[in-house]
């Protein structure tokens, strides 16, 4: 089983719609969950972090975490063409000190105007 | 603050050549990381460091070496370049590691390396 799984997409939504991005992870000990946005040819940029079950909202973005189901999602409300990018889900690995994030392959989002 | 800077931005190597990718951060972060990203793939960890003088292997360390003599710098060395090392390399840093509740990482702009 892959450690962090995401649908590669592309996910296409019209401008103004809600985009829903999903991620599952295999390590039950993971405690920290992140969503990064990556524009083509650019480096990943952190947009949301979540550590507790439930929802966390920041502007048009809402992250949702369900540790029992090992599932984390990102909702983007009122999607804009500028949201078109690849969204990477990242999860920490609990059994290694100092460490690193495990990334999914990313979901490509396309918002049409 | 410049954040995380990387040089060079682009490089073409011939098979068997060596080079060093430079990474510097000015945020006084203890933790630094090197990732590689192949087309259509997520990032894979090559090496990481939890402080000056301390480094450890990640998922894909073969063919690479690192050193960490200062808090700011974390260079990645490629010895005997191979076509399989063609990738985009990202350096990242963070102020907290796994022992704490979160590990937000900040990324440099990347180095695009082609080995022919």
In terms of Cβ atoms closer than 10 Å to its own Cβ (0-12, 13-18, 19+), residue A16 is: exposed
Report yes or no: B97 at the A interface, CB cutoff 8 Å: yes
Residue A72 to residue B22: CA distance in whole angstroms: 34
Q: What's the pLDDT band for B77 if we cut at 50, 70, 90?
A: very high
pLDDT in tens, B4-59: 999 999 999 999 999 999 999 999 998 899 999 998 788 999 999 988 999 999 88
Interface of B with A in 49-78 (CB under 8 A): 50, 56, 58
- CA proximity to A91, closest of A64, A56, A51: A51
Residue ranges of chain A with pLDDT lower than 70?
1-2, 94-99
Residue B101 reports pLDDT greater than 70: no
Average pLDDT over residues B65-85: 96
pLDDT at A65: 96
- Check A99 against B43: CB less than 8 A apart: no
- Please tell me the distance from the alpha carbon of residue B22 to that of residue B75, in angstroms, as a whole number: 5
CA-based nearest distance A72→chain B, Å: 16
Answer yes or no: do B40 and A8 touch at CB < 8 A: yes
Residue of A72, A100, A103, A105 to mutate, testing the B interface (most B Cβ within 10 Å of its Cβ): A100
Measured distance CA(A51)–CA(B54) in Å, rounded: 28
Residue B93: pLDDT above 80?
A: yes
Q: Give the closest residue to A23 by CA, choosing from A44, A50, A5.
A: A5
Assess B34–A contact: CB distance below 8 Å, yes or no: no
pLDDT digits (tens, 9 = 90+) for A15-43: 999 999 999 999 888 888 899 999 999 99
Per-residue model confidence (pLDDT) at position B62:
95
Chain A interface includes B31 (CB < 8 A): yes
């Amino acid at each position: 089983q892959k450690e962090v799984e995401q649908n590669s997409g592309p996910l296409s939504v019209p401008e103004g719609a809600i985009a829903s991005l999903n991620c599952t992870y295999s390590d039950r000990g993971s405690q920290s969950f992140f969503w990064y946005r990556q524009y083509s040819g650019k480096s990943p940029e952190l947009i949301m972090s979540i550590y507790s079950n439930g929802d966390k909202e920041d502007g048009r973005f809402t992250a949702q975490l369900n540790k029992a189901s090992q599932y984390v999602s990102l909702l983007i409300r009122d999607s804009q063409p500028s949201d078109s990018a690849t969204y990477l889900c990242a999860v920490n690995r609990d059994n290694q000190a100092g460490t690193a994030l495990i990334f999914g392959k990313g979901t490509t989002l396309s918002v049409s105007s | 603050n410049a954040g995380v800077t990387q040089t060079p931005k682009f490089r073409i190597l011939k098979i068997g050549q060596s080079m060093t990718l430079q990474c510097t951060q000015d945020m006084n972060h203890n933790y630094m990381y090197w990732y590689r990203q192949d087309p259509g793939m997520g990032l894979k960890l090559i090496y990481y460091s939890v402080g000056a003088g301390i480094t450890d292997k990640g998922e894909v360390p073969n063919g690479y070496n690192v050193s960490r003599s200062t808090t700011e710098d974390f260079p990645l060395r490629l010895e005997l370049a191979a076509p399989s090392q063609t990738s985009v390399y990202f350096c990242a840093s963070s102020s907290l590691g796994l022992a704490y509740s979160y590990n937000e990482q900040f990324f440099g702009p990347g180095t695009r390396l082609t080995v022919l």
